[in-house]
A and B are shown apart, each in its own frame.
Chain A
Amino acid sequence: MPNDRDQRLAPMTNLQQYYIEQFLLDAVAKRDPNLLEVRWGTRVDGLHQGRDGVVVELATDTVSYATECDFLVACDGARSRVRQAVGLRMNGTSYEGRYVIVDIEIDLDLPTERLAWFDPPSNPGRTMLMHKQPDNIWRLDYQLHPTEDSEEMIREDKVTPVVAAHLEMMGIDRPWRLIWTSMYRAAAVSLDSYRSDRVVFAGDAAHLVPIFGVRGLNSGFDDAFNLGWKLASVIAGCSPDTILDTYSEERRRAWEVNVTSAMKSTEFMAPPSRGYELMRDAVLSLAKDHPAIATLIDPRQSAPIAYEGSRLNTVTRDEGSFKTGPRPGSPPLECPLIVDGKKRYLTSVLGSDFTLVWSGEGDAPSMVTNELHCAINLGLSVILLTIGAARLLSGTAGQLQTLHAEVVEGRFTELYDAAPSAVYLFRPDGHVCARWRIMRPGDLSNAIDTALGCGKAELS
């Protein structure tokens, strides 16, 4: 995980699901209740897709009713009822290996990192993982032997000796309490397409990845970032509904990349055959003295995936002149900036619609601000961020949202290969969709058009 001076967030920021759920509910509470409503204790029982909408059958313990919607986003988890109702199946590989997950409460002053023991004396033959969570909660994961019974092995009387032996081996002699246990089996399965007309699938309802690498919920969030703005754009009339197909294309491809990485971690943590086991033991025995061999232990933690080749990207005539920096489709590279005298980070100043980042000598020409105004007239809220020596021509601002940032130790220039000049266009989900050295009339409109999934020239 990136852990250098450019980062806003520390690695291994580990939040329990109940925190995330509360944060989501807090965010919902800040919205207009006419637009967003949580209906607790309500079950989806079925649905019908019509030509211009979906009818959803809902039920509480006491009443059943139907409701209509233009689009339905199914995030009803791995056993998705909506997926069954639409008649879709996920394809891929399910693995035999089963893992017990245990949360314990214990006061330890160990550093925040993920620890792994392969075949430890306390629990021979198991791979044990241990990491810190907030509130003095520690998570242990370990694999079950093929002959062990799942139901039995997550019982307190079976879990306690495994944990006790492990803590004893670590030389920890402090009181601890069992909080929660569960069982997990690795699966790498996905729908072929995440869209079925007006029903769109996201999160575990669309795809599952093996647990190693923390890609489950993280990729669900990436789905939401990707889908949210596209759906909004369709409803606002800025995009044709075919942009929803790019959600499926981009996120399905991301799942493939995620699964490849998660598979590599799984093969190392829980070798699927003799060859993997023998080689893994050899790697572990050489890793300390051979940094190159040690790279094979990389747990490949979740990272945002680039949407290379997406049809929402614009590959400009200047693309070839960039040696480094994020290519079209890439997630943003984190980068410190100074805004209004305060240290900020690029990802926290990107707008909720498009952001044009203008850097290098000279002024952002009126040509650019004119085209930005066209985008704003469409209903988009575009931010123009000028960096370093770049300035906005006075009098061009109007209703444009503008922001100026100073570079910190040349980091932007280096990370974005921005010398002598560079202009980056970020989509609402933060991914880069185009970059230039020097812009010409029409460039910006075309790139925004393309990113909105429209044909050419609809903006101008």
Chain B
Amino acid sequence: MSVWSRDERERAYTNLCDAVTAAGEDKESLFLARLCLLLMEELGDAEKFEAILAQAQLQSGKGLSRSASE
């Protein structure tokens, strides 16, 4: 269940995009990994975390940008 308002989500998303750009292409993975760790601690729920981890996994034919539009 999402508790974000539409405006809040959009603002957060824009900040996230800018932060990825600011990290630079060579450091963006590190930046995103750090972000995940911090969010994981903030979440503090092992069961939920397992479920989210599974959802984020890139299965074949799913989650790749190329196939998203098909």
Q: Interface of chain A, helix or strand or loop or mixed?
A: helix
Are A295 and B16 touching (Cβ within 8 A)?
Answer: no
Q: For the complex, give the distance between the alpha carbons of A275 and B62 in Å.
A: 21
Choose from A120, A276, A285 the contact partner of B21 (Cβ within 8 Å).
Answer: A276
Are B6 and A279 touching (Cβ within 8 A)?
Answer: no
From A117, A118, A120, A276, name the one whose CB has the most chain B CB atoms within 10 angstroms. A276
Are B17 and A118 touching (Cβ within 8 A)?
Answer: no
Please, what's the 1-or-0 string for B28-70, where 1 marks a CB less than 8 Å from any CB in chain A? Answer: 1000000000000000000000000001001000111110110
Are A274 and B65 touching (Cβ within 8 A)?
Answer: no
Which stretch (A37-45, A48-56, A286-294) binds chain B?
A286-294
Q: For the complex, give the distance between the alpha carbons of A249 and B69 in Å.
A: 42
- Give the size category of A's interface with B: 20 to 34
- Give the size category of B's interface with A: 20 to 34
Are A281 and B21 touching (Cβ within 8 A)?
Answer: no
Q: Within 8 Å of chain B (Cβ to Cβ): is A13?
A: no
Q: For the complex, give the distance between the alpha carbons of A275 and B9 in Å.
A: 16
> From residue 271 to 329 of chain A, which have CB atoms closer than 8 A to chain B?
271, 273-276, 278-279, 281, 283-289, 292, 295-296
Are A285 and B68 touching (Cβ within 8 A)?
Answer: yes
Are A118 and B20 touching (Cβ within 8 A)?
Answer: no
Known: A274-B20, A284-B69. A279 touches B13 (CB 8 A): yes
Name the residue of chain A whose CB is nearest to the CB of B19.
A275
Q: Within 8 Å of chain B (Cβ to Cβ): is A121?
A: yes
Q: What's the count of A-B pairs with C-beta under 8 Å?
A: 63
Choose from A118, A273, A295 the contact partner of B69 (Cβ within 8 Å).
Answer: A118
Chain B proximity of A93: nearest CB distance (Å): 15
Are B69 and A117 touching (Cβ within 8 A)?
Answer: yes
Q: For the complex, give the distance between the alpha carbons of A119 and B20 in Å.
A: 20
Known: A275-B19, A275-B20, A276-B17. A281 touches B65 (CB 8 A): yes
Q: For the complex, give the distance between the alpha carbons of A312 and B6 in Å.
A: 29
Are B68 and A118 touching (Cβ within 8 A)?
Answer: yes
Are A285 and B2 touching (Cβ within 8 A)?
Answer: no
Known: A274-B25, A274-B28, A296-B9. A281 touches B68 (CB 8 A): yes
Are B18 and A285 touching (Cβ within 8 A)?
Answer: no
> Which chain B residues border A267 with CB–CB below 8 Å?
14, 17
Q: Within 8 Å of chain B (Cβ to Cβ): is A198?
A: no
From A117, A275, A284, name the one whose CB has the most chain B CB atoms within 10 angstroms. A275
Q: Within 8 Å of chain B (Cβ to Cβ): is A264?
A: yes
Chain A proximity of B26: nearest CB distance (Å): 11
Name the residue of chain A whose CB is nearest to the CB of B69.
A117
Are A119 and B65 touching (Cβ within 8 A)?
Answer: yes
Are B66 and A275 touching (Cβ within 8 A)?
Answer: no
Chain B proximity of A140: nearest CB distance (Å): 15
> Which chain B residues border A285 with CB–CB below 8 Å?
58, 62-65, 68
Q: What are some 27 contacts across the A-B interface (CB < 8 A)? A: A116-B69, A117-B69, A118-B68, A118-B69, A119-B66, A119-B69, A120-B69, A121-B66, A264-B10, A271-B17, A274-B21, A274-B25, A275-B17, A275-B19, A276-B21, A278-B28, A279-B16, A281-B65, A281-B68, A283-B13, A284-B68, A284-B69, A285-B58, A285-B68, A286-B55, A287-B68, A295-B6
What 5 A-B pairs come out closest when comparing CB atoms? A275-B20, A275-B21, A281-B65, A284-B68, A292-B2
Give 8 new A-B contacts, CB below 8 A, not counting A279-B13, A292-B2.
A118-B69, A267-B17, A275-B22, A278-B28, A279-B16, A281-B65, A285-B63, A285-B65
